[in-house]
Chains A and B, each alone.
Chain A
Amino acid sequence: MRRTWWIYLIGVLGLVAVAAPFLWMVLGSFKTQGELLRVPPTWWPQDATTQNYGDLFSKANFPRYFLNSALVALAVTAGNLVFCSMIGYALAKLRFKGRNALFVLVMATLMIPGMVTFVPLFVLVTNAGLANSYPGLILPFLVSPFGVFLMRQFFLGLPDDLIDAGRVDGTSELGIFARIMLPLTRPALATLGILTFLGSWNNFLWPLVIAQTEDKYTLPVALALYSTGQNAQNYGLLMAGAVVVVVPVLVMFLAFQRHVTKGIAITGLK
């Protein structure tokens, strides 16, 4: 500790800078509109109120947005766990013609910026009659090249002997995958699941264009539109809304943080 105290000092100052806006948000969500406009600002709410959270229910339809976000995120996560593990397994352990070409193709799609596919995807989904629907929100994200890559890499590390043993014992190919191999990938599945959930929960551009009526909004869309629309001056409501968007992510992240940071270290992707 002798020579490293200043490292800790810098680290703690940085943490304060990171935490301050979050603290500001939580404290602000309990202040009245009048107090939020006061100059100079107050730190602790003088007359703390839960009015802002009440407004989320009465003035805005936040429970609905919350359920939409949760539904989409859970469906997308489930889809990724199922499909990415299956494709990853096939690319890692099954021998078939064109396997490597297929893998390169999957990796190539990782490089295309989201903005490029955004308009064609929108036209595609709209022409399929899925605009403003839950399938429209969920389907395009059911499988991700990042997830395929992650699962493939993990499957590569498992020994082929397990598969051979299963075959000798007469287990079906599906049984080998589902009952022998898949249970071994639990750490990778946890990483994939949590990253996918967070990504879907925070996804913005796609639900912004595909959810056209208010009842299909996800939380980030609702928050963004409230903050730029007629409620832009209702600061307390926006602070409380931001808390509702942030807190579930915070809880999930704290519960699964080692899977998240490990996934980032492996892939460098968000």
Chain B
Amino acid sequence: MKSSFLIMICSILLPLAAAGASPSSAKDNYKTFCVQCHGMEGNGKGINVVDMSTQPRDHTDAKEMSSRTDKELTKVITEGGQSINKSVLMPPWKATLSDEEIKGLVNYLHQLCKC
């Protein structure tokens, strides 16, 4: 009886623990993972760009950004630049961010480009 109660409690709590902390806000994730290359203002002018062979996308460029579908944006964040035939300098973030967080970033990109 006691053990079945424990199992029940564990079966409720473990999935919660596995899910980890609540997802970080898109703005916070952008500041941590994207700003280093895409810049503090999202204009593609991050601190890392000086020696890059391919310059990062300017997320404030409405014309360029609106040519990408949400599906493509999700794919490039999740699997990296090469997954959409773009630069290897854009890494995959699927090991770092949850699907929900990546969805949040795609929405945040729409805010940055106002498109």
A and B are interacting partners = no
Residues of B whose CB lies within 8 Å of any CB of A are none
